[in-house]
Amino acid sequence: MMLSKLSILKGLQIIFISLLAVKLTTTYYSNISLNNAIRNTSLKILKDDHNIDIDPLDRSPTLTPSKSKLAIFNPHKNQGKKPFVIASDLKTCNNIVKDMIEEYPGVNYADASISIGLCLGMINFFNSGVGGGGFATLYDYESKQSKFYDFREAAPSKWNNDIHNLTKIGGLSIATPGELKGFATLFETHGSGKITFKQIINPIVKLGREGFVVEEVLGATLEKYVDILEALNMENPDFNIKNWEFIYSDFENRKPLKKGDTMYRKAFADTLEYIGDHGVDEAFYSRDSPLVQKMVRFIQKNDGILDLEDFEKYEVVRGDALEYNLGDNFFGKRVITSSGSSSGFSLISGLKIMNTCGLSGKKIGNDMEPKTTFQLIETMKWMGSARTRLGDYFFNESSNINDYPERISSVYLNDEWTDNACKVLNDPSMKTLEDVLDYDPKFIHSQAHGTSHYSIMDDRGNAIALTTTVNLLCGSLLHDPETGMIFNNEMDDFSSPYSEPNSFGLLSSEYNVPEPFKRPLSSMAPTIVVDELGRVEIVIGASGGSRITTSIFQALIRLLFYKMPLLETISYPRFHHQLMPDVLEIESYKLVGNQTIGILQDTNGYETIESVGKAVLNGIHRTDKNDIHAVGDYWRKRCSGDIILV
């Protein structure tokens, strides 16, 4: 009997242990599955969501823009006053320039451009900042001379394609920042002399220390990026999410600051103050600088290869701006834009095509008409082909930024290219070419990313169009808590030397493969148009990655060919076609209308997709009545155009 009870107990014990083992095994593998699912979700977030899209923000164009978004200077109503005009991403930054003008009479366009750039980098750090770089196109009214500056980021001196891989996250994605060197060059070469560099920096230092209000765009970006930072924190054990503590209202519970809250960037304010006290070259581009040594340690700790030499050897490249005379139909107006590693060449090639045969070379037409729209989009496709020939051609000491290689001059200067495009534009069938290769692309496009652009015309008639970037939103996703620096991920703008041919049989561009000290190709093209009297008529540029060049192009066509007002030029929906992929992006099917969409798809033969507004235009325009208009792209990024009376 006793033996029977023991047998039963032993049997129960075995059953219990077996059930427990099953439970533990199930739990173990369930946890593995859960962890794998979480990891896969994190990887997907990092791969798909780290881009230039501010998803929580409404970025819809409109056909009925409010006149409140238009700043106007009428010389007859403001006799005795002169306009100082700004169109930028933030009214807060425009107001800082207004205060600067009042405190330091005589400051000019170059001084204002530095203030705006530093302010945008402090507040909208996700788009631009001293951890990035850019381009500036300038026009001096008194001398009637234009100038171009390339302060794009440069690849590390130690870069080796056999060892290093292109990435968009972490230290290896960081190229040498050029923005500060660019600002210092503008200040030294074109500044008014009425204000010191430190005095320009001081209000921005104050912003970081005393705090600034989180506005709608920043709030929407933080709402999106807390998930991305959390995904990186889960995926990479070396990533320290606490380095981003300044963007949270409740770090422990991962609640980001939201619209209306106050953000502080005290470490970055200290860095700017140090730069103001010691000068840009000594503080930011000297191997002996404690600041440079701190930045290099941080970058290398995060698997980067930038070193002291990269900062010390960085140089701004000064060149001749590209100039294109629009001819008799436009009374000899000149389009002035950027060269170098920008996409100014692509923009000029498009304007040349439209000026030669678009609308039969006449200054007529309206937006969204069947023929004008077809010609506009086809020209964009030829611009896309032109862009496949671009890339830094002056990175070694034996080349010059003003010596354009044949691959570029053949498009920029050769009429044969234009004539080939005109055959398509004027074909009565209005059919797009079926084969992408018929547009003669040389390589696959590299994908450009996000930026900030601002346009300035001062009270003396001088103008600057400046575009700057850290590439994707929040750049490399690395924030150094000691210096407050947020670093670019500009290496991601290079083309991979090891990519497979695409569906058209094209490889990545050999002109945009990374090499030491080389600058990646950009879609930026800050542009100025000067009238027949030598006065600035248009100052314009855009942010928005590969859509930058086509947005500027469409804006210039609207302003110059169609005589559209600046307010509608910027607020109306836009098209974008970059040839590869062979798809036409349309910002709003509803606003463009079913009839136009039907013609584009059925008559013209385009594959279309509807997209949100990713390109942000900020512009200035002198009208035929000599009024000055300023418009910031409020509809896509809550930007502001402002006029300060001097």
Going from N- to C-terminal start, the domains of the chain cover 1-41, 70-198+298-645
For residue 141, is pLDDT > 60?
Answer: yes
Q: Which pLDDT score is estimated for 260? A: 98
> Is 545 annotated in some ligand binding site?
yes
Q: What's the longest Cα–Cα distance across the chain?
A: 118
* 523 assigned to a ligand binding site: yes
493 is in an annotated binding site: yes
3-state helix, strand, coil in the chain (%, to 5): 45, 15, 40
0.85 exceeded by the pTM?
yes
178 near 152, Cβ under 8 Å?
Answer: yes
Do residues 170 and 478 touch, judged by C-beta distance below 8 A? yes
Closest to 450 in 3D by CA, of 539, 553, 519, 523: 523
124-155 core/surface letters (b: 16 or more CB in 10 A; e: else): bbbbbbbbbbbbbbbbbbeeeebbbbbbbbbb
Asked about 451 being catalytic, the answer comes back as yes
Tens of pLDDT, residue by residue over 363-416, are 566 788 999 999 999 999 999 999 999 999 998 776 788 899 989 988 877 899
User: Based on the number of CB atoms within 10 Å of its own CB, is 15 exposed (0-12), middle (13-18) or buried (19 or more)?
Assistant: exposed
* pLDDT one-digit tens code per residue, 402-449: 899 989 988 877 899 999 999 999 999 999 999 999 999 998 866 655
- 255-286: per-residue pLDDT in tens? 999 999 999 999 999 999 999 999 999 999 99
Contact call for residues 525 and 148 (beta carbons, < 8 A): no
CA distances for 377 relative to 67, 425, 640, angstroms: 29, 9, 28
Phi/psi class of residue 371: alpha, beta or left (left: φ > 0; alpha: ψ in -120 to 50)?
alpha
Does residue 345 come out as left (phi exceeding 0), alpha (psi in the -120 to 50 range) or beta? alpha
Q: What percent of the chain has pLDDT over 70?
A: 89
What residue type is assigned to position 89 of the chain?
D
Domain 70-198+298-645 has CATH 2.60.120.590: no
Which DSSP symbol is given to 500?
P
Predicted local confidence at residue 177, as pLDDT: 98
The answer to whether 182 is a known ligand-binding residue is no
pLDDT in tens, 87-111: 999 999 999 999 999 999 999 999 9
The per-residue pLDDT for range 296-319, each reduced to its tens digit, is 999 999 999 999 999 999 999 999
Q: What is the mean pLDDT of residues 489-494?
A: 94
Please compute the mean of the pLDDT values over residues 56-70 and round it to a whole number.
96
522 among the known binding-site residues?
A: yes
Which tens digits make up the pLDDT trace of 569-586? 999 999 999 999 999 999
Strand 608-610 vs strand 640-645: parallel, antiparallel, or unpaired? unpaired
CA dist 645 and 98 (Å) reads 9
- Identify which of 445, 471, 633 has the alpha carbon closest to the alpha carbon of residue 545: 471
Structure-model confidence comparison of residues 508 and 538, the more confident one: 538
Could you give the dihedral angle defined by the CA atoms of residues 76, 78, 84 and 85, in that order, rounded to the nearest 10 degrees? -60
What lies within 8 Å, CB to CB, of 296 at 6+ separation is: 306, 307, 308, 311
Tell whether 636 is in a known binding site: no
**What is d(CA 644, CA 97) in angstroms, rounded to the nearest whole number?**
9
Return the pLDDT at 26: 55
> Which candidate in 271, 451, 527, 569 is catalytic?
451
Query: Which one-letter amino acid corresponds to residue 167?
Result: T
- 190 pLDDT band, cuts 50/70/90, is very high
